[in-house]
Structure 1
């Protein structure tokens, strides 16, 4: 965990470039020029949903090109198995449990009513219900203004910032332009688009309030790419931070007709949904368009590109094999993500890294790359520049997750620690633990908790200490719960 700088010092920071802890004149030149930042976050994209990550069904030539030109991480993790918590972690470098955003945020059309006090709830769900064993913490409805986002951290360093696509961190008063971004194109409280076709409207949900219709039928991912490319062209003369957070490949499953027709006749594997395949390829084409603009403007050499996802692939539309399960689950299929980082002159092309990294790491990494100081608060992530430059290891020993909620019929509240090859899942209802050796059992088929009780105790002690450190809100027994009669 990193913590430094007073708040006053942070707000007055001029953003002078810092000397990075690695050698190489190309790297130093890149930092002195203040690299542009392109951060591409795909919604619900699974670990194997690209050719360079093992898919033989999805055609992703631009994602694959990015991997050839940069570093691909094999053990990259989202900070949560669902979207809003991961997005908050990306923006702040802080664990969702510390932020109080531990589940996806309900939009207003889904019942996310903003109280008159404009204070996030500190209550519990399921109070008064005798059929639920645990009372679970009520999730936040927005990310607090007191949090410092990447856009706010980079502003003193002279960066212009733009959010394009899905935000899902609160309604109007907490939109991206209220959280430090200079431009907001498409960001609102929606966790999914009403429709992928202009005018992006669905009865009961309405339209995307920050993306005016412009051409009937225009595909949303294409529109996002066009807006991103326009922003780059308009701000090519100064350092920029572009956060391209696609609504795709989240439901509703809707595709461009030309790509759908292609996948209808494509040989399938364990991945076989033609609509989803078309959506993945549309994201790939969007990436290609933005990368081409960087090339055309001769900005590629001085642009740090990060490509990743916010949680595991949704079971049904895709398959995360060889990983177990998918979005929402504590298994690898729910939290392990594709991650590719390209930075010419700094990152070796075609390299791979198997060190576990997480969404919380992007904030300190980008701050270090740009010379922006860290804010006056605990930052849970660690800069991964030593990995990108292959100049040294990370200092931390473990990663953590906390999901104190129910999800569907088969996910009960849980917390996780991954330390080295070992992963411990702690459940707050039913069986207490599952322990997996990820080095020898990537698919998490063999629970070893019964064979290694001392290791379970050690990891649980560390997990409980972390939960206390970050002030995690915990589920608690429901005093009204009545177990169903047996037999």
Structure 2
């Protein structure tokens, strides 16, 4: 989901009344980041409290192959390391019932799933949602209602004890699909000037918003809303076209630059909303730079649980939840994405209002003042070389401290074939136009709600 996709973040076409209400009753983070621009690697940071470069999962699992680029990208681990303790491990040991429902994408087999990583009750898919969709008939668009039903079942079963539950929806993701009624609503709705305003994409977001509303209503009906910490966020920025930059345009991250798979703001800045009655003041906004790496520490402090005995790179956000004007005890947050996707292998650092991007193929440094230039239009690196070099040095120091894997020169580099995406197993290039058609927008009937599960 993109940073500007929600009405409460300024989208003029999408309607998200339930998420908007969550923001009105809690705190909206304006400068919150997915720790990487793709799914698996960001999810690894949530489950570890570590930067993805330390975990060893810096791309989506299993990654992809572009054999003729200038650089050979480093290998990634294809499962969350067994040594890492997750929030599920920590909170279950602290007496919480733990549940995980939806997309996991941190291990290729049943021994690597959330049910073996501290989550007592689970219902999930292993890998990219579209792979599961190819193989099985999915009830309803993105399984939104089914996964919501399973989550509500878990909450009802554990309402008399502390619980920690994650609902990891497949929405917002390709293929872009929504219920017929949501699609028709946005087909008929007047379109604001500018933007994309795609009825299928808008419908998918509204279907997701309906799920959030169902959970909020259940917590209220059970008398739990006033003592529940509720967090809403995304694992990467929004997409623009339907498949790897090809096909119909379904969204825009404006005013942010670029999209998922890039270290520009459009690929990593995401919505983050926290409601915590009695702690978070309603309708507040926090502009402190924060990241998914911080969630482990936040959950542990909120639950009164000790941090796990492993390196922790994040910082608890509880001080910000109490006072959004507070400052966290760190100078910067860091990003490492040494892969080709919708951009080139790069690292980045955000320090205060400043952001530096270092491309690993030798391109010039890029320096932006995000408070004045959120769209990253004016590169200040040549004008402010001392600032750029200081941030570059700090980024290199951080990479060494976490053992970040780096790309290397490619002896098979072919500029005429760079940009080709290949199927590693079949050893042939992918037909992106055909795949974009395969993942085209579509209407999916909603399953009857309130199915008891699991």
TM range, smaller chain: 0.7 to 0.9
Cα contact 1:414–1:427 (8 A) shared by 2: yes
Q: CA deviation at 1:483?
A: 6.3
| Partner SS state of residue 365, structure 1 | helix
Match of 1:381 among 309, 314, 320: 314
Shift of 1:156: 1.3
C-alpha offsets along residues 172-231 of structure 1, whole Å, 9 cap, x if unaligned?
22111011111111x23222245xxxxx752xxx138xxxx7xx6576111111111111
Alignment pair present for 1:398 and 2:354 = no
Residue 57 of structure 1 contacts residue 271 of structure 1 at CA under 8 Å; is this kept in 2?
no
Does the 8 A contact of 2:142 with 2:169 survive in 1? no
**Alignment match, 2:153:** 230
| 48-57 or 266-275: bigger deviation | 266-275
Q: Deviations over 1:410-464 (max 9, x none)?
A: x211000010111000001141311111111111101111111111110011000
Say whether residues 1:268 and 2:225 are aligned partners.
Answer: no
d(CA) in 1 for partners of 2:362, 2:409: 13
Query: How far did residue 480 of structure 1 move?
Result: 5.0
Contact 2:22 2:275 in 1 (8 A): yes
Q: 1:356 & 1:314 partners in 2: Cα distance?
A: 22
464-473 or 447-456, which moves further after superposition?
Answer: 447-456
For 2:267, the equivalent position in structure 1 comes to 334
- Is 1:289 the counterpart of 2:214? The answer is yes
- CA RMSD, 1 decimal: 1.9
1:319 aligned onto 2:252: yes
Judging changes above 3 Å, is the alpha-carbon distance between structure 1 residues 413 and 279 closer, same or farther for their aligned structure 2 residues? same
Write out aligned runs for 1:30-429 (5 A).
Answer: 45-106=1-62, 131-171=68-108, 172-185=110-123, 187-193=124-130, 201-202=133-134, 206-207=135-136, 220-269=143-192, 270-315=195-240, 316-390=249-323, 392-408=326-342, 411-429=343-361
Local SS of the residue matching 1:337: coil
Distance in 1 of aligned mates of 2:41 and 2:142: 27
User: SS of the residue aligned with 2:251?
Assistant: coil
Quick one: distance in 2 between partners of 1:427 and 1:219? 35
SS of 2:334's equivalent in the other structure is strand
CA–CA separation in structure 2 for the residues paired with 1:332 and 1:484: 29
Gaps of 5+ in 2: 241-248, 418-454
The question of whether the paired residues in 2 share the 8 Å contact of 1:76 and 1:356 is answered with: yes
SS at match of 1:137: coil
Equivalent pair of 2:32/2:290 in contact (CA under 8 Å): yes
- Describe the SS at the equivalent of 1:367: helix
Count of residue pairs the alignment pairs up: 405
Q: Residues 330-349 of structure 1, C-alpha deviation per residue, up to 9 Å, x if partnerless?
A: 11111001111010000000
Unmatched tracts of structure 1, length 5 or more: 1-44, 111-124, 195-199
Deviations 1:386-416 (A, max 9, x none): 11101842101101000111115xx211000
| TM-score for both structures, normalised by structure 2 | 0.86
* Change over 3 Å in CA distance of 1:234–1:398 after alignment to 2: same
What does residue 368 of structure 2 align with? 436
Instruction: Give 1:446's match in structure 2, choosing from 345, 364, 378.
Output: 378
- Residue aligning to 2:445: none
Counterpart residue number, 2:441: none
State the TM-score, normalizing by the size of structure 1: 0.80
The answer (yes or no) to whether the contact 2:3–2:271 under 8 Å persists in 1 is: yes
Post-superposition offset of 1:142: 1.1
* Residues 193 and 247, structure 1, Cα contact 8 Å, conserved in 2: no
**Pair 481,60 (structure 1): closer, same or farther in 2 beyond 3 Å:** closer
